[in-house]
Amino acid sequence: MTQIADGGELIKETKPVSLTKPVIILLVLASVFILAIGIGVSFALFYPRKNTTVVIDNTNNGNTFETKPKPVSKLATDSAFLQLKSDLDGFISELDRIDLIEPQLAPPNIDLNINVQIK
């Protein structure tokens, strides 16, 4: 459908763009997803890494030494070894809990020589 403007030009009537509810939800989800990716990338790029440790020795004229961290042993992820470590901790705590006095087991404080000595 066309209309004639005041100047005699033909104006083409365009259909108005309408956003339905599912489309809005989709747009919101997409923007949240993009935002999350953005935060993740920024975190990965700018988070301070602890690959090396700088130790400043004040007793040695301020010389600096760069030390590399100790390589992590394969045993750190070995389930059998971790079980041994845990069992050992449990065993040590069991040893600490042993009570070799146990006052509850002491004999009752009873009296002998209960008599009236009438003889």
Partner residues linked to 110 by β-bridges: none
Contact pick of 21, 49, 50, 119 for another protein (by CB under 8 A): 119
Residue 113 lies near another protein (rule: CB under 8 A):
yes
Residue 71 lies near another protein (rule: CB under 8 A):
no
Q: Where are the alpha helices (DSSP H) in the chain?
A: 21-46, 79-97
- CB nearer to another protein: give 10 or 118: 118
Q: Count CA atoms closer than 13 A to 41's CA, side-chain side.
A: 6
Contact pick of 24, 29, 41, 84 for another protein (by CB under 8 A): 84
Tokens representing residue 112 in the block: 């002998």
Report 87-106 residues binding another protein (CB under 8 A): 87-89, 91-92, 94-96, 98-102, 104-105
Say how far apart CA 81 and CA 35 lie, in whole Å: 42
Say how far apart CA 45 and CA 80 lie, in whole Å: 37
Interface contacts to another protein, rule CB under 8 A: 73, 75-76, 80-81, 84-85, 87-89, 91-92, 94-96, 98-102, 104-105, 107-108, 110-119
